[in-house]
Structure 1
Amino acid sequence: MSFQIRFKMMTAKAASAAMAALLLASQTPGFAGSVSAAQAEQVTEAAPGENEQLDMTSNDVPEGAKISSKQASENILKLFPMLKKATITSAQFDPNNRFPPLEYKTWDIGFQITEGNHSMGFNASVHAGTGEVLSVHMPSDLLDKQLSDSEVKLTKDEVEEQAVAFLYKAIPGLKEDAYATLGDLYQTAGQQSLFGRTEYQFAYQLKHDGLLSEAETVYISVDQSGLVTGYSRMTTAAEYPSSKPAVPAEKARQQFEEQFDVELAYIKKNSLSSKQGQQYYLGYMPKDSSMVPLEANTLERFNAMTGKAITEDTVQQDKPLKGSAAAFVPANGQRLNAKQAENLVKKNFDIPEGYKLDYSQLNKGSYWSPNNQVWSLSWSNRNANMSYMFMRDISAQVDATTGQIYSYSLYQRMSPDAAEEKLAEEKEGKSVTRTQAEKLAIHSVIALVPDATEQFKLSSVLEVEDARTFIFQRYLNGIAVKDDLVQVQVLKDGTISEFYANLAATPEQLPASKEPAISYEEAKAAYLEEFKLVLAYSRYGGHGTSSGQVTPSGINLAYMPTRDDKSIYGSYEVLDANTGEWMSLYSTSSTAVQAAPSDIAGHVAEEAILNMNKHGVLIPDEQGRVFPDRVITRGDWFNYLARAVNPNLDLYYTVNGNDKLYADITAESPYYPAVRTLIDQRWLAGNDPEVNLNPQEEMTREELAVLLVRILRYEKLAGFYTLPSDLPNLVDANAVTNKGAVSLSMKLGLLPSIEGRFMPARKVTVAEAAQVLELLAQLQGKTDTFMTGSRLY
């Protein structure tokens, strides 16, 4: 379903697992991995007379496991022989450090890499029942060395061949028709950066008994040299039902067509754009209830989160908001201080006794409020029962200008083996009905969200064991706004444990006309023509809630709607209501830069500009132009360089409201994210609020040479080149002030001479900047300092 239920997880997710979440991946035992006879080697060799390091693994097989820790470590080393250079530091059976807990037993093997006084620790996991490796992510120390040593640069197709080969190696006995590819996940997550390792992550949906299974997914990361850098196998212990449906496909299709419906919606053109730069288009989307899987034996529509049949009272059909609560009125005065923000939260939510505000910070630049400042607040009770891991924490976000509360969360972070203390026990005997909970949720939305009764309707309700989550959809001009919603979670005792409001769209971002070129009937017919029903296994449950509970997990045999009969994830495209084209629902900045700039054909720097466009360094304007011969400013160069490190630079950053990096680089500056990135990389000198950086000044070739030397860490070396004779082949050597910087830039091929002259005062153009950045990228791995460490974002 398209609800964005914000269940919280205790364990930090790796980047690949975050991508997996977009595909609703889950966890299940699969094929047994074979046990390798290889012995784990130790990094540290004992010097004569010293005690050898103890082997942390053994051949013991504990109760509940079918393999030993030594077998588990050998299986890891078989897939990743480079880890023989690491030391095994721990072997833990069934570690109790995850929430929600896994449904099966695992071995967690700890590794460490040591170089001098520097060490890095990391873990890998193996299924203790099947012996199959479940997750390994190579440490950056090893990968950076591999990048420096390798001259290989494979194409994306060649990289994918390596991923497929590894898939068969990781799952012995896997048949060719036993999986389906989900492609390169980075295609929906932004560009590969120009600097650093080029890495691709591929996903594969596995089959059970010949049917695709939502519970069986593999993620493989491979870099441009063909090295597998990460592996993750999502699996579960839930029992599979029979693969033979009681209801034939024809009858399921008939019911699907009878229940299918679409609605007009405002949809973001670019899901990764900042709120300020976001634009929307009109599209037809299936209604949530239309894309719900059909249980293959009963044809009941069931909730993908709980596995329970969907009833009329859970799908509210856009119920208007009615209540006696006073409507939200924004503050109309001076900026709120931390105490005033705290009082607003206490006025609207029940802060339990004993909780004290222990953190407050004023931030600017958040997605919610790019033009205002926002208070981030948190409360904790350090006297709470120690069965809570870190106690129960409360957090909130409050707009310091308007007083609007964007989020509130009461989060019970309990350790899995601790005695579960429920809020219901603290308020013994108190319980609210569904109607009472709905009334509480509607009351909070009216009181806390601007224009709530005019813009929001109750669209659905999700019920789990201990809570109900009410989802409110936003409408503008009578049209739904995709992803603009409010969620309110009410516990069974009547406590509001979570409130979350996302109001991204503004009237000026919406298309001028609200009348679609394609009619409702045409859109519905187009969907029915395109969409198929695929018989597959659907996973549900296994999620941790903010109240500390875990939803039961299981597997259903289901007919699942999709546009591609080789995939069970077919609901991520929508129909443009004016062009009739199928659009990616979660399109990103990567799609925006794939088209070549419109004004570079035949330009001498065309190839370099195309490469910068591919990596998100150069962003064309709305007409597709980059103006290759335009002179750039220092600020332009800072932005190019920072995007070369992080192409999604403009999307995710937060700053302190009073932060000032330089006298002319404050939190409001359009160059702030780039300058902060370059300071973190040590490519600019440390911030100094009393010094001007002058980002508006046009960049000269000599200034660029100085900045390049800074990036390469050759400032001191450049100091040895101070004479005109250090630039023997330049007619204008006497005109160069920073002879060392110019000399090194020329020797490295970054800034070549022009007809025997360097022309230090000549201004740098967009095209020249693109060429320099491409040459700089080619130096990776060829110098002692440039991009040899892990990136900082």
Structure 2
Amino acid sequence: MKKWSVAVGSSILALSLLATTAEASTSVQQKDERIPILVALNENDVSKEQLIKKLKEILPETFSSYKDSDFQMSSMSHHYVGDDVTRYELMFNKMVDKKTTSGSVTFAGDNLDLESFYFQPGNMKDAMFPGKVTSEEAQKIAESFMKKIAKGNDFVINSDVPSYYSTRVLTEPISYNYSFVRAENGVPIQDNMILVSVLGDGQIQSIYQTVNGNKRLAFEDKASMISSQEAINKFKDNVQLELQYQINYNFNSGEPYVQLVYQPVTTMIGLHATSNKWYTLSGLTETVPTQSKLERVATAPLKPMSPITLEQAKEIAKKLTNKDAGEGKFTIDSAFESERNGQAIISISYSYHVGNSSFGSSIDFNKNTGELINYSDFSSYQSHLSNEEQPKVPKLAKDKVLNIALEAVKEFAPSTLHDYSKPTIDPYYDEQSGTHHVTFPKIKNGLIVNGDNLSVTVGDDGQVKSYYRSAYEIDEWPDASSAIEKTKATETFKEALSTKLVYSRTGNTNPEEAYKLVYIPTVKGQEYYHIDAQTGQIVNGFVNGGQDQLSITHPTAEKELNYLIQAGAIEVKDVSQFNADAAITKGQALKTILKSLTYFYYDDYNQTSEKPMSFDNIDPKHPLYQVVESASAIGILKPGQESFNPDEKITREELSVWFIRTLGLEQAAQHSDIYNVAYADKDKISAQYKGYVALSQAMGLQKLQQSNFNPTSEVTYADLAVSIIQLAYEIADKRQSRMYY
């Protein structure tokens, strides 16, 4: 039987499409995940052949050559709590030219609607940089595909959602991501979306849709709306900005960082277009909904930090999760330690089994403080497995919800609770699940930390259903005194303020209720925004600004250089001063190689003074310390066998050594006597580098220059950019052939 684990740590955030609510408020509501219920298939269910036929109808160009034996069907179907639509999963795996093509697809309902799809090609070279299709061509492919699966519905591309997941790692294929929103009467429906990803070679890589099944939905009539200008004027008259910290995520480095921002403090989502009332998570209101003032939950730690062991964590997990299982069986499936965001984490995975069905999750602890990071109580969902009738429980009063949530955070975060404020907005209530969502925002230097909070979900039965805390370790916080005046930020905000009409059901407590017409505020045409309080500029929170906007020209390596610069692999502060033909230092070359070929994260957890530095001149305070330690760990550098001066320029023969080590071919390169090269300047190659140079040149990583290798010539930024593309192709090819990991 297949085990199912729900990753609570990646809980779905109940964000409205409106970013002023999502970003401005620390009240980003954390909603319970959809809990998958697994059910064993029987002979009367859908067959593998039916799923294969359906897939080939949708993507004939991709799967026409696949045989039935290339597919495997999951022995379990699944549905979700509160959603009885049955899903069937089909996996595929096919060897082509000794390379594996694989993926999966999920079909939903009696009509086997395509719900999700993922495709990993066997030969990725055509999809890798620079790719065979442009972003515009990929969009046309995505739009053409949408016509196949839209089923007569009107979908429009959502230009407000940036394609920020497109890879910038050279060893992986380029992917262009597009979001399509279903429209009714020309108005986009917020929660009806289909995400389509197109590979750089034009193949569909993935699909995921959140469309509300086949049920005919009700929509509010457009006959008696206020005008968009009336909505804009009302938004402008009620703008209230507040200085906050904003935690953002650098998609190139994988590191969180903090900005000082101005955000609207209102908790409204928008303006109801037919009643002219404010539209909120809790419904409609005449008055502008605002947050309460910050008030710390505690003035000091309630308990000192107390590290826990793996066994202690397992015992706590049992107490939290092993509720009365009734006919079911409770099992702890695994317990292990890991590192995340600089923290030592203990994870406990568990599951419930009733008959032929099962579901589960995991609980995470901070090993060094003993505090809980995330937890979900799924014991009440056992009734969905055993078909028990759930008695209707009346809605719990707000004051009781807040008291229960407060006691929970005192129990789960006693040593750090003084860093958090009491809730600044009312709990969000989900009537369908009977749960209240309460958020305790973090406070730093007297300001809300947007994106870091404690979240508690309380059921109408008075039980804590889930708990989650962000887990960031951030040392650098901007000084609030560096912010521009609020009046200036407000003026900038008002000048850029506009609006967009959407259909929304957020805040509707009745799932059968019609979608409402709502004007949501936009800034510079974007729904995701804040004002950088230090520069005064309006920023899209989902665009990784800075280097990804830079562009240079070069006669031979323009595409390669711009790709690496925009990815952050080559750091450029001033384009006008950047010389791509200048020699690159060993430190910069090493950083570029790591950032180009891997998602560069170096976790310095447990890097204590007991662990020797790889090189004496690169201590933990050195800006290249993480780069050097990572390069040493994967074998590019050899501590103890060589020195490393980050400020020296790197030569072509030295670069060949790094390339060959990266490919894991050093042992072959060390047998220099077996290589007979015909370069005009072969005698200038250092004896210890001869094998590396021969392999690097033969594999096309470094090309000859008028029959010369020029081993002692210094490598330029442009040289490295061109060579590293070829290195990426080799790595990807070996990885697909299972020769490189």
TM-score by length of 1: 0.70
**Partner residue of 2:217?**
240
> After the TM superposition, which residues 383-782 of structure 1 pair with which residues of structure 2 at under 5 Å, given as runs?
386=354, 395-400=363-368, 402-412=369-379, 414=381, 418-419=385-386, 433-445=397-409, 448=413, 452=417, 455-460=420-425, 461-464=427-430, 465-502=433-470, 504=472, 508-513=476-481, 515-519=483-487, 523=490, 526-527=493-494, 530-538=497-505, 552=511, 555-563=514-522, 570-577=526-533, 579-588=535-544, 591-596=545-550, 608-620=560-572, 629=582, 631-633=584-586, 637-646=589-598, 648-650=599-601, 664=614, 684=635, 700-711=651-662, 722=673, 726-730=677-681, 732-733=683-684, 735-753=686-704, 758=709, 760=711, 764=715, 766-777=717-728
On the 8 A contact 1:100/1:416 being kept in 2, the answer is no
On the 8 A contact 1:389/1:415 being kept in 2, the answer is no
Deviations 1:228-279 (A, max 9, x none): 2333333113542244147422476676566654333223465548797623
On the 8 A contact 2:652/2:712 being kept in 1, the answer is yes
Counterpart secondary structure, 1:649: coil
CA–CA distance in 2 between the matches of 1:106 and 1:75? Answer: 14
Runs of 5+ consecutive residues of structure 1 not aligned to the other structure: 13-59, 543-550
**Partner residue of 1:56?**
none
CA–CA distance in 1 between the matches of 2:506 and 2:130? Answer: 43
Change (3 A) 1:435 1:236: same
Counterpart secondary structure, 2:173: coil
CA–CA distance in 1 between the matches of 2:74 and 2:97? Answer: 30
CA–CA distance in 1 between the matches of 2:681 and 2:218? Answer: 78
Change (3 A) 1:276 1:71: closer
Structure 2 residue 55 is the aligned partner of structure 1 residue 88: no
Q: State the 1:469 CA deviation.
A: 2.0
CA–CA distance in 2 between the matches of 1:421 and 1:693? Answer: 68
**Partner residue of 2:13?**
none
CA–CA distance in 1 between the matches of 2:242 and 2:280? Answer: 21
CA–CA distance in 2 between the matches of 1:638 and 1:650? Answer: 14
Q: State the 1:140 CA deviation.
A: 2.9
Deviations 1:657-701 (A, max 9, x none): 79999983999796668876998xxx749x99x977866676553
CA–CA distance in 2 between the matches of 1:619 and 1:643? Answer: 11
Change (3 A) 1:147 1:257: closer
On the 8 A contact 2:583/2:717 being kept in 1, the answer is yes
Change (3 A) 1:609 1:561: same
Matched letter for residue 133 of structure 2: L
On the 8 A contact 1:779/1:786 being kept in 2, the answer is yes
Q: State the 1:462 CA deviation.
A: 1.7
Q: State the 1:616 CA deviation.
A: 3.2
What percentage of aligned pairs have identical amino acids?
15
**Partner residue of 1:318?**
292
Structure 2 residue 186 is the aligned partner of structure 1 residue 210: yes
Greater relative CO, 1 or 2 (CA 8 Å, sep 6+): 2
**Partner residue of 2:241?**
262
Deviations 1:699-729 (A, max 9, x none): 5533432343355576677578637852342
**Partner residue of 1:124?**
105
Q: State the 1:99 CA deviation.
A: 2.9
On the 8 A contact 1:389/1:414 being kept in 2, the answer is no
Q: State the 1:526 CA deviation.
A: 3.4
RMSD over equivalenced CA pairs, Å: 5.4
Q: State the 1:352 CA deviation.
A: 5.4
**Partner residue of 1:53?**
none
Runs of 5+ consecutive residues of structure 2 not aligned to the other structure: 1-20, 23-27, 38-42
**Partner residue of 1:196?**
172
Change (3 A) 1:622 1:144: closer
Matched letter for residue 64 of structure 2: K
On the 8 A contact 1:399/1:405 being kept in 2, the answer is no
**Partner residue of 1:301?**
279
On the 8 A contact 1:341/1:375 being kept in 2, the answer is no
**Partner residue of 2:147?**
168
Matched letter for residue 249 of structure 1: I
On the 8 A contact 2:300/2:418 being kept in 1, the answer is no
Change (3 A) 1:202 1:398: same
CA–CA distance in 2 between the matches of 1:525 and 1:184? Answer: 20
Change (3 A) 1:190 1:695: farther
The total of aligned residue pairs comes to: 692
Counterpart secondary structure, 1:188: coil
Change (3 A) 1:151 1:353: closer
CA–CA distance in 2 between the matches of 1:173 and 1:747? Answer: 55
Deviations 1:342-370 (A, max 9, x none): 789899x7985998987654444x22xx3
CA–CA distance in 1 between the matches of 2:346 and 2:497? Answer: 46
**Partner residue of 1:155?**
134
Change (3 A) 1:156 1:418: same
Q: State the 1:477 CA deviation.
A: 4.0
Change (3 A) 1:469 1:70: closer
